[in-house]
Homo-oligomer: A and B are copies of this chain.
């Protein structure tokens, strides 16, 4: 992990030619993102990047390795999250956080590979910092402590990530196998039925069937996301109300 060189790349100029190919770092980033959008994280290889740019493989190693290219691509994606930058001003905290959640979900749905390549730590790139700065705006009007704002935002983003990851994975599997949810059920039922004793699993079979019936063949995702978001915002609201009551007493 060469933190400094990655950071220098993230914060440096990316529109000057590097090497003899005339290509800029921005070109490499654009190629990587295009491949990721088309073929997912598994389709991103240095050979593929080189081929798309019309150069040989080793020309992609001029400024860094794959890990750094991925970091650049991820940070680059965050740049388009709040283009104007002012959409979150003037909303109450609940509407603001709802907008934040939806923006991140839309981004995840547009670029499913965001959740396939496992980015561990915050990359501290310029676009990501900018993004987080915007996302903290709705919490400024709340009586939460700064450390609590950090935790609330982190949890919100983790919720979006979890739901969106699950949804994109399901969607990718559906596309790969050609089976939607009910078709999948019909495919496994013949194998599952004779071997599963439903009396061993009374709750999960009853609840599972009810959940499937309530879904009515619709794709898992949208509703689960909204339901969870409501629960989460309700919980955050409880904390905010408690802090307000404390402030009122003091």
Contact = CB atoms under 8 A, between A and B. Distances in A.
Interface size class of A (residues with CB under 8 A): 35 or more
Interface in A210-241: 210-211, 213-215, 224, 227-228, 230-239
A1 interface: yes
Interface string A128-154: 011011001100100001111111101
A162 interface: yes
A173 B136 contact: no
A91 interface: no
A58 interface: no
Contact of A207 (B150, B162, B188, B232): B150
A108 to B, nearest CB: 13
B7 A191 contact: yes
A196 interface: yes
Interface of A: 1, 3-4, 7-8, 11, 116, 118, 120-121, 124, 126, 129-130, 132-133, 136-137, 140, 145-152, 154-155, 158-159, 161-163, 166, 169-170, 172-173, 176-177, 184, 187-188, 190-192, 195-196, 200-204, 206-208, 210-211, 213-215, 224, 227-228, 230-239
